[in-house]
Amino acid sequence: MNCKPNDLAIVIRADAVPELIGQIVKVLHPTWPDSPHGFVWMVRFQAPQVFPGWFSGTAIVDTDAHCPDAWLKPITGLPVHDDVPDEVTA
């Protein structure tokens, strides 16, 4: 898994609502451990978003949404590049 509860993460994939890509979310709790997209989290956006209503057919506006773990990249505060040494010299 990429994320854990209370992590901040960036949405890196959003098939139904591509406008969500790049937004920062807070990872709340697991919701669907065996979905077709893998493990799914409930996440919270910083502002209300418009989501398609899969069952109702009408748009839903909410701050919370389901998001597959694979579609999130946690924000760790570590450098993005791979040239970070494995050991610290004393």
Write down the pLDDT at residue 77: 73
Query: Do 9 and 74 form a contact (C-beta atoms < 8 A)?
Result: yes
Find all residues with CB under 8 Å of 32, minimum gap 6, and list them: 39, 40, 66
pLDDT surpassing 90 at residue 76: no
pLDDT surpassing 70 at residue 81: no
> What is the pLDDT averaged over residues 70-87?
74
Higher pLDDT, 56 or 88: 56
Single out the residue of 15, 24, 27 nearest to residue 51, CA to CA.
Answer: 15
Question: What residue ranges do the domains of the chain occupy?
Answer: 8-74
CA distance 35 to 71: 13
pLDDT in tens, 12-63: 999 989 999 999 999 999 997 778 888 999 999 999 999 887 777 788 899 9
pLDDT surpassing 60 at residue 84: no
